[in-house]
Structures are given as C-alpha cells and as structure tokens.
Chains A and B, each alone.
Chain A
Amino acid sequence: MPKYVIERDLPGAGQLSGDELCAVSQKSVEVLSTMAPRAQWLQSYVTDDKLFCVYLADDPETVREHAAKGGFPVTAVHRVRNIIDPSTAEVA
C-alpha cells in the first residue's frame, strides 16, 4: 500500500490540550476502523499551526475520505517515495 504524508493546516494546533489531542485521535481511530483495511494511521507530528500525518492508504481519495468522515482538514497530500536515515549513508 502506498505511504502518504498529509499536511493539515490547523492554527493553534501546538496549543491543543492532552484531552483535545486524545479526542482527535479517538475520532481518527474510530473512522479508520470503519474503513479497514483501506487505510492505516502510522503517526502524526503536531506543530504550532499544522499537522503532518503519515498514513498507509490505497490512494489519495481514501486519505481524503478519512479526513471528510472525521472532520479533519486536508491541505496537501504527498506520496512518500523513500524513507532515509543515517543508516542509508552506509554503503551496503
């Protein structure tokens, strides 16, 4: 399944409380359970005014479907082509 990074503009995201983060996560998980196995949420990075979310999904439309059902904004959808880290620097 392709991997996507999704940008979500949400001013003030960095100020969300623990409870609010919990509620948002619960909503996401709940929607995903109705869409299994077409999408999987891996992780989200919450910054001051944006979220960056990493998902496995069948296609960009599935990502947007999840967002629409959960009431999450979608600013941009990007396809992850490669993941690298320091170990990639080592010659095989």
Chain B
Amino acid sequence: MNVRVTSPDELLERDDALADLHGALARARAGHGELAVVTGDPGAGKTALIREFVRHAAGPPLVLRGACDPLTVPRPLGPLIDAFGSVDRAVAGRLAAGMARVEAFSIALSLIDGTYGEGRPIVFVVEDVHWADEATLDVLTFLGRRVADLPALLIITFRDDEVGPQHPLRVRLGDLASAIRSRTQLRPLSRDAVARLAASSGIDPDSLHRATGGNPFFVTEALAAADAVLPDSVRDAVLARAARLGAGPRAVLDAAAVIPGRIEQWLLRAVVGGVDLGPALQECLDRGLLVPDPDDGIDAERGISFRHELARVAIRESIGAAQLRELHGRALAALSRPPHGAVEPARLAFHAAEADDPEAVLEHAPVAAAEAARIGAHHEAARHLEGALRFRYLLDPQRRVQLLLRLGDELSTIGRYESAIAALDEAAADAAAIGDVDGHGEAVIGMVSPFGTLGRIGEASDRVELAAGLVAGRPASRASALIETSRVSLHMLARQFGPAEHHGSQAIALAREIDDARVLATALVQSGTALVMSGDDDGLTRIRDGIDLASRAGEDGIVAVGYAQIGSGFGELRRYDVAVPALEAGIAFASARELISSETYMTSWLARCQLEQGEWDHAAASASALVRRSRCVGVSRFVALVTLGWVRGRRGDPDVGALLDEALALARATRHIQRLWPAAVCRAEMAWLAGRLDDEMGLVAEAAALAADLDYRPACEELAFWQRVGGQSSTSPLESPLTPFGLSAIGQHEAAARRWAVLGCPYEEAMARFLDGGDTGVLAAHQTFDRLGALPMRERTAAALRDAGVVVPRGPSAATRDNPFALTAREMEVLTLIATGATNRDIAAGLHISAKTVDHHVSHVLAKLDVRSRAEAAVTAERLGLTR
C-alpha cells in the first residue's frame, strides 16, 4: 500500500514553542530585539517549527534564512550568503567571493538594522548552527551583542547533543546569554500525538511510539514506509521508502545524496548523468523523498533538497564507496563549470576530497583555505590545509613548504600550538632539503611565537638564533625582519628593554626595506613599547605611528595590540593618565571588530588600573564578569583573577583563596616575571592581612630571584618590600630606589606615601602612612581605608589609634553619617564638582579617573538624590547644604 505523506499542516505539541517565538517577535517589533534558541534532536522538527512560525508571523516581518552546511569543512559565512541571496544578490556575491573580516561584520549588521525590509521588523533564522564555521559564529555573536536595540529577531537552531562543553558554539552562547530570552527545546512527541498521526494508517500507535521514540521525522518516515514490520531506525525507514523507487528515480536520489544542503537542478542533472531528470525527479518529489526549496529567492530553477539531513545521510550510507567517489567526481566536474556565477571554493574542495581526487584537492583546498583565513574562519582554513597536505607526496617541495608554513600560521592563530610547531618543523626540514633558505628561515621563526606562548622560552630563543644563522649575509627578507621582531618579543618577555629597543630599530629598518606594512607596524609597536618601558616617552609616539600604519593597512589585529601595549605597559608603570584612555579606546575598537581576545585582555588591564586607583566597585564588577566568562583564558584570566582577589581581599570580602590559587597556577604556566610578580605580591599582601605572611615567603623569594636575574627593578623593589615586611633580607640590593615600594623597603615610608599620592594610588599611600607611624599619619590612613571600604586595614588602624589614645569615630564612616542620601565620599566629590558646573571631562581630569567611571558615579548620585539632571542635583545639594 502506498501511503502518501505530506508535511502535516498542523504541528502537534508545539504550541508553547510557537507561542515563545511569537512572543519574541512581538518584543522585537516593539524595538527590543533578541536572540531565540531552538534546540532538539535530529528529526525533532526544528525546521518545521520555524516554517510554521513564519507562516503566522505578525507583521509580516521580512524573513531571512540561512543554514549551516553539513560539509566536512563548511563554507565561511554560508548562512549569511544564503540570507543575502534573497534580498541582495550583489552583496551575496561579494560575500561568496571573499572579503576582509571587518567588512563582513558591517554587512551582517545591515541585514538586521533596517537597511532592508522597508520598515518591517526582521527575522533572521540560521539553522544547524552546530555545523557553523568560525566566521559565522563570530558574526552571530557580533549581531547578538547588538540586537537589543533593533527591531530584529535572530533565531538559531541546533542539535544539542552535538554541542558539548568544548564546542565553539557553547562558548559563544555564554557570551550571548544576556541577549537570549527564549530557549526552546523540542521534545519527542507523546504517545497521543503519535496516535493522531497514525490514525488512518492501520499501524498500532503504541508500537510506533516505541519504535520511533516519538521522533517526529522517524514517525512520518515509518508511516510513509507503511510496511507491516516497523523499521528499526530512521535509516531503515528512509531506505524502505527509497526501495520502492524505480531505477531512474533511485539514481536521482543517490545523486542528490552527495550534495549537502540546497541542490541546484542543473547540478543534479549533471551528476545523475544518463537519466532523464524531469520525470525521475518528479517521482521523488511526489513521494516526498525530495522537496523543493520553500523560499528560493531569485533563481529561475527552484533548488531542491532532502526533506531532512537524516534522510540524505541514510541514502548516502547505502551507496557503495566506489559509486560515491564517482558521484562526487561528477559533482566536482559540474561545479567547476557552473552555468553562471562562481562556486565557493569550499564546495569544490569538499567534493574533491570526497571524490578522492588528489589533484583536485590540491587545486581547490588551498584556495578555500585562503578565503577562509581572510574572513577570519581560521579553524576552517587549517582544516582545508590539512586536507590538502594529505596528498603532500604529490606536491612539489616548494609548494609543500608554502602550505606547511600557512598551516603553521593558522594552527598558531587558533591556539593549537604543539601542532603548529610540528607543521613548521616539517616545513623547515622540507625547505632545508631543497635549499630554500628563506622558507627554512620563515619556518623556524614561525615557531618562536607558539614556543613563547607555551612558556618554552629556551626553545624559542634557540629558534631565533638558528634562523639568524640561516639568513646571515643574505639580502633583507621577511624572514630576517621577523627574526628581529622575535628578538624584540623575547627581550620584552625578559624585561630587557635596551636590547629590545635595539632590535626593534633593526626590525623597523628591515621592514622598510622589504616594504612590508604588517611587519613594520608590528615592529613600531613593539620597539615603541620597549622605549616606554625603559622610561622614554618617545616610545608612545612610535607606538601610535605603528597603530596608524596598521590601521591604514587594514591590520586590525595589530591596531588592537598597539592599544593593548600602551594600556598594559603604562598600566604596569602606574601611569594611568595614558593607560586608561588607551585601554578605553582599544576596548571600543576591539569590541566593534569582534577581536575578543584583545578586548578581554584590555578589559582585564582596565580593571587592574581601576583597582590601583581605588575605583573598587568598577574594578570588582569588571574583573568578576571576566572571571565568569569561559572565553577569558590565559594572561587575561590571570590579570582578572589577581585584580578580583586584590579587591576582595582589601575589602575583607570572602572567597579570595581559590582565585589566587588559580592565578598562581596560571602564572607558573607562563613562567614570566610579569605574572609571577603580581601573583606573589598579591598573595603576600593577603597573607599579611591574615597574619600568616610566612606562608608566602617562599613564593616571594622565588619571584625575587627571578626578578634579580632579569634585573627588573620595579619587580625587585616590590618583592624586596615584602621580604622586609616579612623580616627577611631582600634578594636585590636597594641603594637607589626607583619606585615607592623601593622607598618603603628601605624605611622611607613618608617619601613613599608622597610618591603614591602623586601616582594616584590611595590604598598604597595609606599603607605607607600606616607603616610610617605617627598619630596624624595613621589617622589619615584610617580615613582613607574607611573611605575605600578596606575593612581589615580600617580595623587595624582603628586599633592602633585606640592604643595610642586617639579618638576614632565608630560606626559608619563620618563621611556617610552626615549625609542622609548615603552618598559615598567619592560620590560627594563628584556632586561637589557638578555643583560648580564641571563637565564629566573636567571631573575625570580633576579626579584622575576615566570618563566612564565618572558617568557611573553621576548616575548613582542622580539616583540617590532622586533627581533627573545634574542641574537638579546641584540645586538639591545647595539647598541641603551638602556641599559645604
């Protein structure tokens, strides 16, 4: 019996899910966009749900759809290209042809910001996001962070069983948590629902429900197969239906099975070959084994696809290996000569690999890799190159070296450092074998950065010297310039700023000679940083020149590094007037371009600067958010952990130990003084507050020894300070201190306090006054600790004053007691300045804090005074005599 099953007009047991989506759309129409997530097992009906939702969507909205490819290596931005295919073919073409990453973001934004749709709200659906390429994930995150103020609804669907904790999508979902208000998980159908579907089939609903588990797709396939015996699996159900086809239609089905996603009819015709496509295809369509694409844009011939990816996979798995290769070969041949337009290299590479056609793979995979890299889909680029290198024995050695070099670069970019080193080792060996000195040099130099990141500094240095030996006496080349920039990096890590700057200048000269903007910009930023760290502010100009050059050359990554270097470099020197604005500008820049790791690093440094300046609320909020983000790893995580630990500890808040233990582990993994030093002094300070400084003296000594080896004075002096506090002699000699810690280490606390005041570090200043002793000093320190909310030190200074017979006000700080609106001392300062008519910029400059911090204080003040504007605040303040 032939049961004809069409897609049910009525969806069962999906009312709640539909209501959620319609609710989300209503919110979006009101201007509050969001991201809705729909998940479920394969066959649970995610696509059917979306289709049903779209049919009844109020408005109606402009609906744009894209799906991620089940290709072995997906096309970069595949779903975005699909979505544009239905509204702006020209843009779709440009995306498919490949472009720079930052351009793609602004194009993606135009999809949801009202550029299309003539005022209608937008619904942008991306299906099967578990298969998404890296560039698509970046774009979705980018859009997700901006959708809240747009009349747009983003819907993503995926199979939750394929998105484990390590899946790249899982990490992005964490980033997007605040944009997601609707999460729908589609459950299997109940027995009753299955019974309704099976109503006129004569099949026992209980057996059907048991056999299918309620999976909607399985149920409909089993019903369509209409066999006396129920199929054991979806696969069997699909194959049972396919078994009834004649030779022609079956050939069409087999041909379709090798083409993932949407199948162009001209392509299908070519792959099927001899069979007359028309009637054979119609049979497949009539039986519902293939379906036409619902909304197929502007194409003359409608594309077709399988009813479900599960069906395609089932058919594909029933085809013999040799036949599969043959079919893929035909697909490749046809796609290589498309009737119009161009075909994305990723598709060509896919069929070439499946056809087991080495020459074709070697032709298309490297092109696909280059395109993916350009758009920022580095995971995909690496996989394409690995695919090509499967046939390395067929490559001429020169080309092999080049592919290995590129693979090493991509692997380094995605954080697979050991694999990168392995690829570059191979490239080096191959290049050496054919006497390609430049290639050999590039391979060796390429290993320096991954070794450095892994903390294997010795091996990194070895590689630099090896490469230098190779290129000695040869004309300037990229390799020779990279050798110099690597030397700068290694010297910087060792805090040897003189040699760093020297090599930096060499790097600049070589980069100019070979006219390589990227290397030149990097060299300017690095050597500028070295100058700054050795006390020469001309370095700042050099860094800025590097940023400008990188900006003009479209090297966003290097621009971000430039801002980060200014921020962290000046931050380490406690020069907040330069560091803070650079960090704020850099964060805005990186955020706009989804340069997540730069943004995270700079945010962690800004939090640290805020901590040191006494802006503890901001520092804690920022650091705490970073620590909770799984994407905050490595050095960014270290800085965030230490900053949060410091604030909590100084406040006397609980939950410090775990933070600092994790920080120490991270510091040890890098083996860099810039991490070991803060880890040691933060732990020492916390231990001292708890009266157990002895516990940390071993670590302090270890860090002090490392600092002494490198002769890095700021670290030597701060560690020596703690050694003295701990009653030990300092590792480093302390004749002429450079830093306030150095002054305190030799007992000159008063001088140290004055220096801290100039730098703008209130807590350290108060500590120095406390250590100096004397009633006036300790009282001043007490008041600062009180204002900052530093409970442990507030109590310690209060006790000292009581012992000395000095009267100390108890209870809430004198500052807040006389102030009925509970403004903090800082907020009072801001209010006083507001009352004088100062602008936010004036206030920021006057108090040496950032404009953003001033904004926060102003909004707190307005809220506490319950007024709407600064003018009202000023009036209220005057009237109540608060600012006298």
Interface positions of A (Cβ within 8 A of B): 2, 4, 9-11, 49, 59-61, 64-65, 68-69, 71-79
B192 at the interface (CB under 8 A from A): no
- Within 8 Å CB of B655, what residues of A? 2, 59-60, 79
**A-facing residues in B649-665 (Cβ within 8 Å):** 651-655
B181 at the interface (CB under 8 A from A): no
Q: Which 10 A-B pairs have the closest CB atoms?
A: A79-B654, A60-B653, A9-B812, A61-B624, A61-B620, A77-B653, A71-B822, A9-B811, A11-B811, A76-B791
A71 CB to nearest B CB, Å? 5
The CA-CA distance from A61 to B654 in the complex, in Å, is 10
**Extra contacts besides A64-B620, A71-B822 (7): CB < 8 Å:** A10-B812, A59-B624, A61-B624, A71-B821, A72-B822, A73-B822, A75-B791
Q: Are A60 and B817 in contact (CB under 8 A)?
A: no
B617 at the interface (CB under 8 A from A): yes
Q: Are A75 and B654 in contact (CB under 8 A)?
A: no
Minimal Cβ-Cβ distance residue in B for A50: B811
Known: A60-B654, A77-B653, A79-B655. A68 touches B789 (CB 8 A): no
The CA-CA distance from A4 to B654 in the complex, in Å, is 9
B853 CB to nearest A CB, Å? 14
B94 at the interface (CB under 8 A from A): no
Q: Are A75 and B812 in contact (CB under 8 A)?
A: yes
Interface of B is mostly: helix
The CA-CA distance from A76 to B816 in the complex, in Å, is 16
Known: A71-B821, A71-B822. A65 touches B653 (CB 8 A): no
The residue that B654 contacts in the complex, of A65, A71, A72, A77, with Cβ under 8 A, is A77
The residue that A74 contacts in the complex, of B620, B648, B789, with Cβ under 8 A, is B789
- Within 8 Å CB of A65, what residues of B? 621
The CA-CA distance from A61 to B651 in the complex, in Å, is 11
Minimal Cβ-Cβ distance residue in B for A49: B811
- Within 8 Å CB of B852, what residues of A? none
- Within 8 Å CB of B51, what residues of A? none
Minimal Cβ-Cβ distance residue in A for B623: A61
Q: Are B654 and A78 in contact (CB under 8 A)?
A: yes
Sample of 9 A–B contacts (CB below 8 Å): A11-B811, A11-B812, A11-B817, A69-B863, A71-B864, A73-B816, A75-B812, A77-B652, A77-B654
The CA-CA distance from A64 to B864 in the complex, in Å, is 15
B416 at the interface (CB under 8 A from A): no
- Within 8 Å CB of B817, what residues of A? 11
B629-666 toward A: CB 8 Å interface, digit per residue (1/0)? 00000000000000010001001111100000000000
Minimal Cβ-Cβ distance residue in B for A5: B654
Q: Are A76 and B652 in contact (CB under 8 A)?
A: yes
Q: Are A68 and B617 in contact (CB under 8 A)?
A: yes
Minimal Cβ-Cβ distance residue in B for A8: B812
- Within 8 Å CB of A10, what residues of B? 812
Minimal Cβ-Cβ distance residue in A for B789: A74
B724 at the interface (CB under 8 A from A): no
B860 at the interface (CB under 8 A from A): yes
B387 CB to nearest A CB, Å? 44
Minimal Cβ-Cβ distance residue in A for B860: A68
Minimal Cβ-Cβ distance residue in A for B652: A76
B690 CB to nearest A CB, Å? 14
The CA-CA distance from A72 to B791 in the complex, in Å, is 17
The CA-CA distance from A68 to B789 in the complex, in Å, is 13
- Within 8 Å CB of B822, what residues of A? 71-73
